[in-house]
Amino acid sequence: MKDVGYSVEVIELYMNKVNVGMVRNPDTDLAYTGPCGDTMKIYLKINNDAVVEDAKFQYLGCPGVASSGSAMTRIVKGKTLEEAKRITEHDILQELGGLPKSKLHCLKLAVTTLKKAIAKYENRKGRPS
Ligand code: FES
């Protein structure tokens, strides 16, 4: 993996499957398929209607998607919903210590999946997202 340009952090997240799986009784979950055909499904547990207590994800795709999901779920845990909505592709890229150029769009899949899951939660609560 190093030979194709993945960072040590990406390889570690991918090999250890960090936050890969499902959250029990999630407050919101959402699957999203990006233009490349890769899919991510996110599960969020939201405490007191305000703070992301737990976040896990499943994916169908490459190490770029997997590591982006791991970094995104790691970053979002402990954040308020408002903070979570402000997470950017750049934040995930920093956590990953870089990604090969051909995999930069994987960051967008992770951010979009997160934002759509939060929007689904807020819509259900009758709040504008
Ligand atoms: Fe599909 Fe990156 S290769 S999201």
Residue 127 included in any domain: no
Residue 34 included in any domain: yes
CATH code: domain of residue 100: 3.90.1010.10
pLDDT bracket for residue 129 (50, 70, 90): low
Q: Does ligand 1 have an atom closer than 6 angstroms to the CB of 107?
A: no
CA 83 to ligand 1 centroid distance, Å:
25
Residue 78 included in any domain: yes
In terms of residue numbers, what domain contains 97? 2-122
HEC string of the chain equals: CHHHCCCHHHHHHHHHCCCECCCCCCCEEEEEECCCCCEEEEEEEEECCCEEEEEEEEEECCHHHHHHHHHHHHHHCCCEHHHHHCCCHHHHHHHHCCCCHHHCHHHHHHHHHHHHHHHHHHHHCCCCC
pLDDT of residue 128: 65
Q: What is the mean pLDDT of residues 26-43?
A: 97
Atom nearest to 105 CA in ligand 1: 2
CA 49 to ligand 1 centroid distance, Å:
31
Residue 45 included in any domain: yes
- pTM score, whole prediction: 0.95
pLDDT of residue 53: 97
Q: pLDDT tens digits for 61-118? A: 999 999 999 999 999 999 999 999 999 999 999 999 999 999 999 999 999 999 999 9
Residue 128 included in any domain: no
Residue 8, pLDDT > 90, answer yes
Domain count, the chain: 1
